[in-house]
């Protein structure tokens, strides 16, 4: 067993090791408090995901939404910090769905929708993400967290911006959210929040150009000042 035994904590937390690897890793746990803490955090995250439950919308939802489209005036779209790529395509083809999104939110069905009239000071447009993704100096890292799905980070030093793209993330309960972080001088600082709805692309807040790393963790709804659980994915940036 090499020094990479530390990397087995995720597989151990979800019981994905064979008998020999498990025995060797458990002996390692007796001597490594860092790995013990990581295993505990990953198991806690897995437990949180197991508590999430899908709630079907009311049967009358479709009728109320269709009726509401006739009475709700769509406002000019602003920009959005967390954009569902699938929703964006639908909005371009069917402008009337902007009004439908408002009705869905107002009648409270548990269905989340991005509202184009939110405070524009907290919004980022999809085009901002596209500029980073298409930058000539874009650097990309991809990981598959043990909790499921895929997370990709793209950073452009010339733009001093970074984008986190996620697909297939596990559904979280209402009191939890995916939080984004940037690390400066060994300290993680908040860099935004991310939904678990389909495919999303989020432009990070802060200064990714000088950051040492970025990470994603599961936090209480609304976010935290500092990570309260072990990150499900961490990306170390190359330093110049």
pTM of the model: 0.50
**189 and 143, same structural domain?**
yes
Axis-axis angle for helices 97-107, 61-69 (nearest 10): 130
Q: For residue 157, give the nearest of 207, 109, 214 by alpha carbon.
A: 207
Asked if residue 193 belongs to a domain, the reply is: yes
**151 and 95, same structural domain?**
no
Rounded-to-integer distance, Cα 236 and Cα 240, Å: 13
**143 and 108, same structural domain?**
no
**107 and 175, same structural domain?**
no
Rounded-to-integer distance, Cα 192 and Cα 181, Å: 7
Structure tokens at 95: 């402008």
Asked if residue 129 belongs to a domain, the reply is: no
Q: For residue 35, give the nearest of 1, 8, 3, 2 by alpha carbon.
A: 8
Asked if residue 180 belongs to a domain, the reply is: yes
Asked if residue 128 belongs to a domain, the reply is: no
Structure tokens at 96: 């009337």
* CA 45 to chain CA mean position, Å: 14
Q: How many domains does the chain have?
A: 3
Asked if residue 80 belongs to a domain, the reply is: yes
Rounded-to-integer distance, Cα 160 and Cα 230, Å: 26
Q: In tens digits, what is the pLDDT along the chain, a chain of 240 residues?
A: 445 677 787 788 787 888 888 888 888 888 888 888 888 888 777 666 666 545 555 666 666 666 665 565 555 555 555 555 555 544 544 444 444 444 334 434 333 334 443 444 334 444 788 999 999 999 999 999 888 899 999 999 999 999 999 999 989 999 999 999 999 999 999 999 998 777 888 999 999 988 999 999 999 999 999 999 999 999 998 776
Which domain covers residue 188, as residue numbers? 136-236
What does the pLDDT read at residue 104?
A: 39
């Amino acid at each position: 067993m090499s020094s990479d035994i530390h990397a087995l904590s995720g597989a151990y937390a979800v019981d994905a090791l064979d008998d020999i690897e498990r025995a060797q890793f458990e002996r390692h746990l007796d001597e490594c408090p860092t790995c013990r803490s990581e295993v505990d955090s990953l198991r806690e995250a897995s437990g949180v995901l197991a508590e999430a439950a899908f709630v079907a919308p009311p049967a009358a939802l479709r009728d109320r939404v269709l009726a509401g489209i006739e009475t709700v005036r769509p406002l000019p779209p602003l920009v959005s910090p967390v954009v569902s790529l699938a929703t964006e395509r639908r909005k371009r083809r069917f402008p009337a769905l902007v009004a439908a999104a408002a009705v869905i939110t107002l009648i409270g069905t548990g269905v989340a929708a991005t509202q184009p009239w939110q405070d524009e000071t907290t919004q980022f447009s999809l085009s901002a993400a596209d500029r980073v993704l298409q930058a000539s100096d874009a650097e990309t890292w991809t990981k598959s967290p043990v909790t499921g799905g895929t997370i990709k980070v793209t950073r452009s030093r010339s733009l001093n911006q970074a984008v986190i793209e996620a697909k297939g993330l596990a559904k979280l309960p209402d009191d939890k959210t995916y939080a984004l972080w940037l690390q400066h001088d060994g300290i993680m600082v908040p860099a935004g929040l991310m939904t678990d709805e389909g495919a999303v692309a989020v432009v990070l807040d802060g200064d990714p150009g000088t950051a040492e790393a970025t990470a994603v963790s599961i936090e209480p709804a609304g976010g935290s000042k500092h990570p309260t659980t072990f990150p499900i994915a961490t990306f170390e940036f190359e330093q110049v």
